[in-house]
Structure 1
Amino acid sequence: MASGLLLTSVLTGCATTESPEVSLTAGGSATVTISNMRFNPSILRIRAGDTVTWVFADQGTEHGVVSNANAQEYFESGVQSSGVYSHKFIRVGMSRYFCSEHASMGGTIIVR
């Protein structure tokens, strides 16, 4: 358990115990819920071709999902307070992302 928390801390830049990793099957999809000022789950392991959907569910608080400059793929949701944003990941690698409105919020998509 401790090593899993350390990995999560290293990948997202902050310690957390509430966002488990999620693994998907080929051709799958995953949902990241944005609520309580965090991405949950904060780390996803997916396969190339899978789609990740972020659900903006933070009671009207505005958030924006944006890939980091060194992410394997570029994606950007724009600022939203409700609704969803989806991105299909094609390239193998790691894409870290953050909230454009709240610098303390971050997550990681690992594509195999």
Structure 2
Amino acid sequence: MIARSMAAWMAALTLAIAVPGDAARGAPAVHTVVIEGMRFIPETLELRAGDTVVWRNRDPFPHTATADSKGGPASPAIAAGASWSFKAAQRGRYPYLCTLHRTMRATLVIR
């Protein structure tokens, strides 16, 4: 009986953590873009103004995340194994690229 109650409690706790309650209420969220294999993953990321995006470089060489237009990300070189963050402020669609490897492209959509 105690084991079943504990299992039910754990299941409820897991569900509460898995449901993005803060995002539904409008609290800022943190999103991750992984840089790996000469790609930005995900290639398109939708987020809200006020959210933060963290780029994590898992490649063995540096990259940047630089938008084509003002209001998007403009990172310095992100070293291998390092990360860089950007707080989304202006709504819009921001295509960005790695200025060191111009074939690497992705898009932030800020709502």
With the length of structure 2 as denominator, give the TM-score of the two structures.
0.70
- Matched residue, 2:62: 62
Match of residue 85 from structure 1: 84
Task: Give the corresponding residue for 2:109.
Answer: 110
2:93 alignment partner in structure 1:
94
Residue 66 (structure 1) shift: 1.2
- Distance, in Å, in 2 between the alignment partners of 1:51 and 1:79 is 16
1:49 matched residue in structure 2: 50
Residues 93 and 110 in structure 2, CA contact (< 8 A), matched pair in contact too:
yes
Query: Given residue 42 of structure 1, which amino acid in structure 2 is its aligned partner?
Result: E
Q: Which runs of 5+ in 1 are unaligned?
A: 1-24
Q: How many residues align?
A: 86
What's 1:31 paired with?
32
Q: Contact between 1:71 and 1:96, CA under 8 Å: does it hold in 2?
A: no
- Identical residues among aligned pairs (%): 30
Question: Offset of 1:79 from its aligned partner?
Answer: 4.4
> Which structure shows the bigger proportion of residues in helix conformation?
2
Partners of 1:29 and 1:48 in 2: how far apart? 11
Mapped to 2, the partners of 1:107 and 1:74 lie a distance apart of: 11
Q: Is the 8 A contact 1:72 1:94 kept in 2?
A: no
Is the radius of gyration larger for structure 1 or structure 2?
2
Residue deviations 1:50-100, cap 9 Å, x none? 000000101x222111111x3543522324222100000011111111011
Structure 1 stretches of 4+ with a deviation exceeding 6 A read: none
CA-based RMSD of the aligned residues comes to 1.5
| Structure with more strand by fraction | 1
